[in-house]
């Protein structure tokens, strides 16, 4: 059994432009991805668009130029409804849970991350690298404890810097020796988001989580934040905990140095 995980980032690791960096990953087996793909494509066809790109849709730019706010919100609502139907759900009270797609989002408040890295020489100085490592650990945990998959295929939106971090991690013999579960990851590739519904779903989660504190949220935004996805928000209150247990080991792998996030 193979777990397919799709990664997409929100914003860039640049504190001069953005407050927070997010990385979303949505995981599932072929039995979970196939019905999602079919339903997602029906929504795109109904609204006469070829793909969802959340930032452009919200701002009504790109292929959504000329749309009314009502038209945009109806489209986003339909996309969120599909996401909610196919998302795994935990048991709550008398309402039973169900298996499904597993979304995870990590968001890092950049100024807090940078300040902590500047005074702690062992801390990861690169926010993208820290996000990728955290996301990979969650994917492997899900593959072991819930999905019961022997392999993990990791698919990234083309051009995302997170992809390079995983490639270097998997190229390290010492990393694969120390963290033996990394050997489950057998197929890291890049794909074109506009042709890949799963990446569009990851983009939706990354955007919504990154803007979770925005005032006057439309109903579709509030709804997706209430789905049973796992999220981690890193700021000044918990930045010291990010990858805390593995940081000393990680430093011994001597991976290519990345520029510190600024």
For the domain that residue 107 is a member of, what is the CATH number? 3.30.420
Q: What is the mean pLDDT of residues 96-125?
A: 89
Residue scoring higher pLDDT (133 or 67): 67
pLDDT tens digits along 219-238: 999 999 999 889 999 999 99
CA atoms within 13 A on the CB side of 68: 3
In b/e form, how buried is each residue of 91-126, taking b as 16+ CB within 10 angstroms? eeeeeeeeebbbbbbbbbbbebbbebbeeeeebbbb
Residue with tokens 């935990």: 90
Residue 219 lies in a domain: yes
Query: Where does the pLDDT of residue 246 fall: very low under 50, low under 70, confident under 90, or very high at 90 and above?
Result: low
Q: DSSP label at 10?
A: E
Question: Among candidates 239, 186, 233, which has minimal Cα distance to 209?
Answer: 233
Distance CA 142, CA 180 (A): 16
Residue 148 lies in a domain: yes
Residue 56 lies in a domain: no
Distance CA 2, CA 252 (A): 30
pLDDT for the residue 3: 95
Q: Is residue 251 pLDDT above 70, yes or no?
A: no
Query: Where does the pLDDT of residue 155 fall: very low under 50, low under 70, confident under 90, or very high at 90 and above?
Result: very high
Residue scoring higher pLDDT (71 or 159): 71
> Strand 230-234 to strand 102-109: parallel, antiparallel, or no bridges (unpaired)?
parallel
Report pTM: 0.93
Q: What is the mean pLDDT of residues 35-46?
A: 98
Residue 45: both structure tokens together: 């066809």
Query: H or E stretch including 72?
Result: helix 69-86
pLDDT for the residue 243: 62
Query: Where does the pLDDT of residue 11 fall: very low under 50, low under 70, confident under 90, or very high at 90 and above?
Result: confident
Q: Is residue 22 pLDDT above 70, yes or no?
A: yes
Q: Spell out the residues 6+ positions from residue 16 whose beta carbon is closer than 8 angstroms to its own.
A: 262
Residue 20 lies in a domain: yes
In which domain, by residue range, is 177 found? 2-29+102-252
Q: Check: CB of residue 100 under 8 Å from CB of residue 89.
A: yes
Residue 21 lies in a domain: yes
Q: What is the mean pLDDT of residues 23-32?
A: 96
**Residues β-bridged to residue 185:** 152
pLDDT for the residue 111: 95
pLDDT tens digits along 161-211: 899 888 888 887 777 776 777 888 987 899 999 999 999 999 999 999 999
Q: What is the mean pLDDT of residues 16-45?
A: 96
Number of domains in the chain: 1
Distance CA 46, CA 173 (A): 48
Q: Is residue 126 pLDDT above 70, yes or no?
A: yes
**In this structure, which long-range contacts are made by residues 178-184, counting pairs with CB atoms below 8 Å and at least 24 apart in sequence?**
178/249, 178/252, 178/253, 179/246, 179/249, 181/140, 181/144, 182/136, 182/140, 184/140, 184/143, 184/149, 184/150, 184/151, 184/152
Residue 136 lies in a domain: yes
pLDDT for the residue 52: 98
pLDDT for the residue 173: 79
Q: Is residue 245 pLDDT above 90, yes or no?
A: no
**Arithmetic mean of pLDDT over the chain:** 89
Q: Is residue 144 pLDDT above 60, yes or no?
A: yes
Residue 52 lies in a domain: no
Quote the percentage of the chain above a pLDDT of 70: 93
Residue 257 lies in a domain: no
């Amino acid at each position: 059994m193979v777990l397919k995980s799709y990664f997409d980032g929100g914003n860039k690791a640049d504190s001069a432009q953005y407050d927070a960096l997010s990385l979303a990953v949505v995981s599932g087996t072929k039995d979970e991805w196939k019905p999602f793909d079919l339903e997602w494509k029906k929504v795109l066809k109904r609204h006469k668009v070829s793909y969802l790109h959340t930032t452009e849709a919200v701002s009504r730019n790109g292929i959504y130029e000329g749309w009314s706010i009502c038209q945009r919100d109806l489209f986003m609502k339909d996309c969120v409804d599909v996401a909610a139907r196919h998302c795994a759900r935990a048991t709550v009270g008398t309402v039973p849970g169900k298996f499904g797609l597993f979304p995870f989002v990590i968001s890092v408040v950049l100024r807090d991350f940078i300040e902590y890295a500047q005074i702690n020489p062992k801390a990861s100085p690169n926010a993208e690298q820290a996000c990728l490592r955290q996301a990979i650990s969650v994917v492997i945990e899900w593959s072991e404890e819930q999905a019961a998959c022997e392999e993990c295929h990791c698919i990234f939106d083309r051009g995302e810097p997170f992809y390079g971090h995983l490639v270097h991690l998997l190229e390290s013999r010492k990393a694969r020796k120390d963290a033996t579960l990394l050997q489950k990851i057998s197929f890291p590739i890049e794909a074109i988001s506009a042709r890949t519904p799963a990446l569009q779903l990851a983009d939706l989660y990354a955007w919504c989580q990154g803007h979770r504190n925005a005032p006057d949220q439309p109903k579709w935004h509030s709804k997706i934040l209430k789905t049973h996805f796992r999220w981690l928000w890193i700021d000044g209150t918990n930045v010291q905990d990010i990858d805390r247990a593995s940081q000393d080991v990680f430093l011994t792998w001597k991976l290519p140095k990345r520029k510190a996030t600024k």
